[in-house]
């Protein structure tokens, strides 16, 4: 199946005269799965869930028309954006794939030079690929559902994102029943796009593997749960750990990566750093104490955060670390 996806992406790239292609399965009006991508001749099969709502892809789903718009890169793959005033050197050509019932089942997004539009004949040929593309995507979706039963990421050997989400819910439920605190550490490789541009996709995979090994050597075995969260991100679920302990771990990982000697296959040195965002699952609010005879500590109100808010805070702290100059650990205290 992987080879079939790769061949299809190559065909789309050739007919569309593009070096960057993203292929989405459309599961409903507002969600889909990024099942494959082509980046300068290198293939990636991320199987990553994408939300279409409030993006240009939602417009493709609703109109079912071939549309072109400004483009940006998300995880090195082309992604359409609605902003008209963005001055990019490329645009995204979005091709919907419809079944016999005129239902949209997939979208191919190609990066295109704005000064080199595709001919009508090429567009018609690409449209004729719809039946093949739909068959591939339906088969891939079934494979993805089976693949969710696997707990290990093939590239890094860490746990998968699906396993992380399952364990996170379990830990939150346990914390709710028995009390306790847990922390999340979201780790992002700084300037990963530049590494890909200068070294290539295969070298990026080697970087991911090496950083995964570093993380594995620094965590608590059989306690912390290290996962590959995204194409260039890792996340660590750290049970029974407050943000002070998580910060120590995050700093240890950041410093170890900064001091590690990375090289390419040709022996060229690579300088790599990490940004880390941390949050934990409880929030303590201090209420004003108007009675001097009442213990202040008794006025503390502890709130357990839902999963979505915990992840949101962790992502905000990662963003803050990036904005602060990268190679930093930021914590939601």
pLDDT band at 116 (very low <50, low <70, confident <90, very high): confident
d(CA 91, CA 109): 10
Is 150 within a domain? no
Per-residue confidence (pLDDT) for residue 246, from 0 to 100: 97
Last residue within a domain, chosen from 118, 145, 172: 145
Last residue within a domain, chosen from 91, 112, 145: 145
Which letter, b or e, does each residue of 206-227 get, where b requires 16 or more Cβ atoms within 10 Å of its Cβ? bbbebbbebbeebbeeeebbbb
Task: Compare 132 and 225 and report the one with higher pLDDT.
Answer: 225
Both 46 and 191 in a single domain? no
pLDDT at 317 over 70: yes
Per-residue confidence (pLDDT) for residue 294, from 0 to 100: 53
Both 75 and 179 in a single domain? no
Task: Compare 245 and 3 and report the one with higher pLDDT.
Answer: 245
Domain containing residue 304: CATH number: 3.30.70.270
Could you list the residue range(s) of the whole structural domain that residue 233 is in?
161-331
Is 189 within a domain? yes
Lowest mean pLDDT among 60-64, 73-77, 272-276, 280-284: 73-77
Both 217 and 301 in a single domain? yes
pLDDT at 245 over 90: yes
**Domains in the chain: how many in total?**
2
Is 154 within a domain? no
311, 307, 312, 284: which is closest to 297 by C-alpha? Answer: 284
Lowest mean pLDDT among 14-23, 128-137, 287-296: 287-296
Both 109 and 60 in a single domain? yes
Structural tokens at position 190: 């700084």
Tell me the per-residue pLDDT of 117-174, one tens digit each, with 9 for 90 and over. 888 888 888 888 888 778 877 776 666 555 554 688 888 999 998 889 989 998 998 8
Last residue within a domain, chosen from 92, 116, 145: 145
Both 258 and 301 in a single domain? yes
pLDDT band at 253 (very low <50, low <70, confident <90, very high): very high
Both 241 and 136 in a single domain? no
Per-residue confidence (pLDDT) for residue 285, from 0 to 100: 60
Both 141 and 215 in a single domain? no
pLDDT band at 41 (very low <50, low <70, confident <90, very high): confident
DSSP 148: T
């Amino acid at each position: 199946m992987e080879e079939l996806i790769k061949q299809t992406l190559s065909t789309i790239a050739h007919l569309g005269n593009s070096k960057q292609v993203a292929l989405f399965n459309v599961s409903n009006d507002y969600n889909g799965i990024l099942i494959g991508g082509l980046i300068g001749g290198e293939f990636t099969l991320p199987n990553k869930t994408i939300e279409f709502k409030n993006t240009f892809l939602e417009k493709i789903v609703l109109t079912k028309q071939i549309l072109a718009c400004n483009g940006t890169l998300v995880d090195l793959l082309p992604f359409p954006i609605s902003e008209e005033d963005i001055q990019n050197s490329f645009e995204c050509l979005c091709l919907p794939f419809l079944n016999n019932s005129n239902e949209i089942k997939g979208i191919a997004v190609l990066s295109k030079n704005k000064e080199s539009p595709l001919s009508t004949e090429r567009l018609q040929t690409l449209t004729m690929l719809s039946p093949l593309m739909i068959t591939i995507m339906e088969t891939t979706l079934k494979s993805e559902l089976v693949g969710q039963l696997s707990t290990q990421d093939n590239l890094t050997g860490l746990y998968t994102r699906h396993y992380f989400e399952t364990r996170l819910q379990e830990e939150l439920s346990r914390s709710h029943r028995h009390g306790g605190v847990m922390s999340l550490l979201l780790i992002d490789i700084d300037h990963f796009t530049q590494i890909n541009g200068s070294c290539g996709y295969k070298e990026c995979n080697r970087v991911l593997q090496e950083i995964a090994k570093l993380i594995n050597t620094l965590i608590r075995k059989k306690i912390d749960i290290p996962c590959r969260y995204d194409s260039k991100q890792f996340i660590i679920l750290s049970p029974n750990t407050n943000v002070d302990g998580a910060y120590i771990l995050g700093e240890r990982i950041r410093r170890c990566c900064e001091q590690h000697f990375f090289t390419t296959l040709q022996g060229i040195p690579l300088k790599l750093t990490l940004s880390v965002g941390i949050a934990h699952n409880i929030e303590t609010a201090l209420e004003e104490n108007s009675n001097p005879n009442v213990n202040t500590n008794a006025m503390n109100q502890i709130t357990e955060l839902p999963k979505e808010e915990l992840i949101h805070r962790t992502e905000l702290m990662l963003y803050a670390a990036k904005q602060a100059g990268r190679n930093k650990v930021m914590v939601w205290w």
